[in-house]
């Protein structure tokens, strides 16, 4: 039995506790069954944390099983990406990776069993005719003219389908249940269809493929799954799940339980829509840092711990709801605030020349790696005659509320000296190209006597720094619910044109020269950033993970 203090309880944990206490189950076995037709997104992260987390907490097992019954839309790229995401989140599946395609023979045997029991038949209606015969939510369906075929004829036709002697779209295998059922999913659902395409696991062995609603319960039973957890859209499919378990000879009788999926505002989590964003070039790929995919969040700088914490914060409920993006950002901000080393990066550099500093002098100043964690040590910051500050940290004239550098006034360089702005130099276009300053050598680590400086600004040595590109990200959509659109518009109409801002000529402190891909930092006064894979040996690329505080 699990320690009840290990995690907040929810209705699924209560169900498992009852099953264990009453002896219905001895060991908890869950599964995560993604379809390999795209990259996993934040909603899948919740399912991963739930299924694998329950297995960990109850000393059970969780299988990773690919629902690979639709080979036209699946690929090995997606299979690899999904395994990488699950591992990165910190979970390990039980045994080998499983595939629904590995059970195709057993699933086929179940179909034959249903035919022999008079519970399945081969239907030759066209797709359009099937829709017509199916009925509506208000009107019952009507039986297909092929519904009362003999068992022998159905077996022969199904064998022809498997042998490749039936063209695509010309026949399907349907369950014989109830065409008048108020649940449309029970109106003789399709169990098999003809698809003459190669499969990424089974090659050309099969030209008929089972539907998910038929594959799902059989795979669960074959694996001994005790608790088959699905999101709420599968609630109406549960009667069919139970029907298959009841009428097929299987080694176990798993139960399906539904929970609310994770919906985030200012984003979409439909794989079809995410694929459209990728295919049409609205984003750079599945791992674009603006995407809600696990790969995109990882590239942006999110950590496994922050996503697990977020999923814990969201919890497990029965009713769908929309979670505010700010909750996800809060989870990563809390993580990075405690763990990310600090550094300087100037996004909009303008040169400061300290005229009373010797031209060849380099003084190594020390800054804390983390101001709240002395154990992380210090970092060297070279001070030279010429430094860069941010253009937004200087004004020629300003009132007393402005806490940065002003012409004729003083400011402190963070962890360094107090400087005074004496003169500006302009280029041919009239833009400020240099700020001529002087420094007070008696102000390192102490305040000047008899006067007050405006504030503290960050800076980087002009001769000893790392050239970098900084990418600032905002939310991909301007509407909180991009799926809810006006007539004649689509979710694409609410794409935020300012979701990406690039600073191509930024400079960072010298200590970041050895920063590795995915390593995260707090750029002081700017936000939290992570090293992007686009980085090279002589040029770092940093992605904004999250701001220092909520700003949307």
Is residue 4 one of the residues assigned to a domain? no
> What's this model's pTM, rounded to 2 decimal places?
0.94
Q: Are residues 138 and 71 in the same domain?
A: yes
The answer, yes or no, to whether residue 494 has pLDDT greater than 50, is: yes
CA distance 289 to 347: 19
* CATH code of the domain containing 453: 2.40.240.10
Is residue 539 one of the residues assigned to a domain? yes
Active site residue 261: yes
Q: Are residues 296 and 246 in the same domain?
A: no
Chain segment 238-257, per-residue pLDDT in tens:
999 999 999 999 999 999 99
The answer, yes or no, to whether residue 514 has pLDDT greater than 50, is: yes
The answer, yes or no, to whether residue 78 has pLDDT greater than 90, is: yes
Residue 273's Cβ-count burial label (10 Å; 0-12, 13-18, 19+) is middle
Contacts of 138 (CB under 8 A, 6+ apart): none
Is residue 2 one of the residues assigned to a domain? no
Chain segment 291-325, per-residue pLDDT in tens:
999 999 999 999 999 999 999 999 999 998 899 99
Q: Are residues 97 and 33 in the same domain?
A: yes
Provide the pLDDT for residue 422. 98
Q: Are residues 223 and 90 in the same domain?
A: yes
Q: pLDDT-based confidence at 550, cuts 50/70/90?
A: confident
Is residue 411 one of the residues assigned to a domain? yes
Is residue 151 one of the residues assigned to a domain? yes
SS3 402: coil
The answer, yes or no, to whether residue 401 has pLDDT greater than 90, is: yes
As a whole number of Å, the CA-based R_g of the chain is 31
Active site residue 187: no
Q: Are residues 368 and 435 in the same domain?
A: yes
Give percent above pLDDT 90 in the chain: 95
CA distance 551 to 503: 19
Provide the pLDDT for residue 484. 86
Mean pLDDT to the nearest integer, 131-149: 96
Mean pLDDT to the nearest integer, 275-284: 97
Q: Are residues 33 and 171 in the same domain?
A: yes
CA distance 474 to 342: 22
Residue 548: Cβ within 10 Å count: 15
Average pLDDT of the chain to the nearest whole number: 96
Residue 330's Cβ-count burial label (10 Å; 0-12, 13-18, 19+) is middle
Q: Are residues 440 and 528 in the same domain?
A: no
Q: Of 193, 271, 298, 299, which residue is the catalytic one?
A: 271
Please identify, among 432, 458, 484, the residue that sits at the C-terminal boundary of a domain: 458
Q: Are residues 339 and 355 in the same domain?
A: no
Using an 8 Å Cβ cutoff, are 379 and 340 in contact?
no
Mean pLDDT to the nearest integer, 496-511: 97
Residue 76: Cβ within 10 Å count: 10
Q: Of 35, 235, 469, 479, which residue is the catalytic one?
A: 35
Contacts of 238 (CB under 8 A, 6+ apart): 256, 258
* Tokens 């299988």 found at: 63
Provide the pLDDT for residue 551. 56
Q: Are residues 230 and 111 in the same domain?
A: yes
Structure tokens at 200: 């990424």
CA distance 456 to 414: 6
Please identify, among 259, 274, 304, the residue that sits at the C-terminal boundary of a domain: 259
Contacts of 507 (CB under 8 A, 6+ apart): 345, 346, 349, 388, 460, 462, 465, 466, 467, 468
Is residue 6 one of the residues assigned to a domain? no
Active site residue 271: yes
Calculate the alpha carbon distances from 107 to 126, 440, 450 in Å.
24, 81, 86
* CATH code of the domain containing 243: 3.40.50.620
302 phi-psi bin (left φ>0, alpha ψ -120 to 50, beta other): beta
Q: Are residues 406 and 451 in the same domain?
A: yes
Q: pLDDT-based confidence at 7, cuts 50/70/90?
A: low
Closest CA to 290 of 255, 264, 315, 309: 264
Chain segment 322-376, per-residue pLDDT in tens:
999 999 999 999 999 999 999 999 999 999 999 999 999 999 999 999 999 999 9
Chain segment 196-205, per-residue pLDDT in tens:
999 999 999 9
Provide the pLDDT for residue 1. 43
Calculate the alpha carbon distances from 75 to 68, 264, 279, 296, 377 in Å.
9, 27, 15, 19, 46
Closest CA to 111 of 102, 121, 101, 123: 121
Provide the pLDDT for residue 549. 85
Q: pLDDT-based confidence at 488, cuts 50/70/90?
A: confident
Q: Which domain, by its residues, includes 504?
A: 262-344+466-552
Q: Are residues 156 and 301 in the same domain?
A: no
Number of domains in the chain: 3
Q: Are residues 526 and 431 in the same domain?
A: no
Provide the pLDDT for residue 4. 42
Handedness of CA 400, 403, 407, 412 (dihedral sign): positive
Is residue 92 one of the residues assigned to a domain? yes
Q: Of 73, 147, 160, 261, which residue is the catalytic one?
A: 261
Chain segment 17-69, per-residue pLDDT in tens:
999 999 999 999 999 999 999 999 999 999 999 999 999 999 999 999 999 99
Please identify, among 229, 259, 289, the residue that sits at the C-terminal boundary of a domain: 259
Structure tokens at 245: 């378990």
Is residue 3 one of the residues assigned to a domain? no
């Amino acid at each position: 039995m699990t320690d009840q203090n290990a995690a907040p309880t929810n209705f699924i944990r209560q169900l498992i506790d009852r099953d264990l206490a009453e002896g219905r189950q001895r060991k908890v076995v869950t599964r995560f069954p993604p379809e390999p037709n795209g990259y996993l997104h934040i909603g899948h992260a919740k399912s991963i944390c739930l299924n694998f987390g329950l297995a960990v907490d109850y000393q059970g097992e969780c299988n990773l099983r690919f629902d690979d019954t639709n080979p036209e839309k699946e690929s090995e790229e997606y299979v690899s990406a999904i395994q990488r995401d699950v591992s990165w989140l910190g979970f390990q599946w039980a045994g080998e990776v499983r595939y629904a395609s590995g059970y195709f023979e057993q699933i086929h045997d179940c179909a034959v069993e249903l035919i022999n029991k008079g519970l399945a038949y081969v239907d030759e209606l066209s797709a359009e005719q099937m829709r017509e015969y199916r009925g509506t939510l208000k009107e019952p369906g009507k039986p297909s003219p092929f519904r009362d075929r003999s068992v022998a004829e159905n077996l022969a036709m199904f064998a022809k389908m498997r042998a490749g002697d039936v063209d695509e779209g010309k026949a399907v295998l349907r369950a014989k249940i109830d065409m008048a059922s108020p649940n449309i999913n029970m109106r003789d659902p399709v169990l098999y269809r003809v698809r003459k395409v190669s499969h990424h696991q089974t090659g050309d062995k099969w030209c008929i493929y089972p539907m998910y609603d038929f594959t799902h319960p059989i795979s669960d039973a074959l694996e001994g799954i005790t608790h088959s957890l699905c999101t709420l859209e599968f609630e109406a499919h549960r009667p069919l799940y139970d029907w298959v378990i009841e009428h097929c000879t299987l080694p176990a009788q798993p139960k399906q339980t539904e929970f609310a999926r994770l919906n985030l505002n200012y984003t979409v989590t439909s794989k079809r829509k995410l694929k459209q964003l990728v295919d049409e070039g609205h984003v750079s790929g599945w791992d674009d840092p603006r995407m809600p995919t696990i790969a995109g969040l990882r590239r942006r700088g999110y950590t496994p711990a922050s996503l697990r914490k977020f999923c814990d914060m969201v919890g497990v409920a029965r009713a769908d709801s929309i979670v505010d993006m700010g909750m996800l950002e809060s989870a990563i901000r809390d993580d990075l605030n405690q763990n990310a080393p600090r550094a300087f990066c100037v996004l909009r550099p303008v040169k400061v020349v300290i005229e009373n500093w010797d031209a060849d002098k380099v003084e190594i100043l020390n800054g804390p790696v983390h101001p709240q964690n002395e154990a992380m040590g210090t970092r060297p910051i070279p001070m030279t005659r010429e430094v860069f500050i941010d253009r937004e940290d200087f004004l020629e004239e300003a009132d007393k509320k402005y806490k940065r550098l002003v012409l004729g006034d003083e400011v402190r360089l963070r962890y360094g000296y107090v400087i005074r702005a004496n003169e500006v130099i302009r280029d041919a276009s009239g833009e400020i190209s240099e700020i001529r300053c002087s420094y007070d050598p008696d102000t390192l680590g102490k305040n000047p006597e008899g006067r007050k400086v405006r504030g503290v600004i960050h800076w980087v040595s002009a001769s000893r720094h790392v050239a970098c590109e900084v990418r600032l990200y905002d939310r991909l959509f301007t509407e909180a619910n991009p799926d809810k659109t006006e007539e004649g518009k689509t979710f694409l109409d609410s794409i935020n044109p300012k979701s990406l801002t690039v600073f191509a000529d930024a400079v960072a402190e010298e200590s970041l020269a050895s920063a590795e891909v995915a390593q995260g930092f707090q750029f002081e006064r700017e936000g939290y950033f992570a090293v992007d894979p686009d980085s090279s040996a002589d040029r770092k690329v940093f992605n904004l993970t999250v701001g220092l505080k909520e700003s949307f």
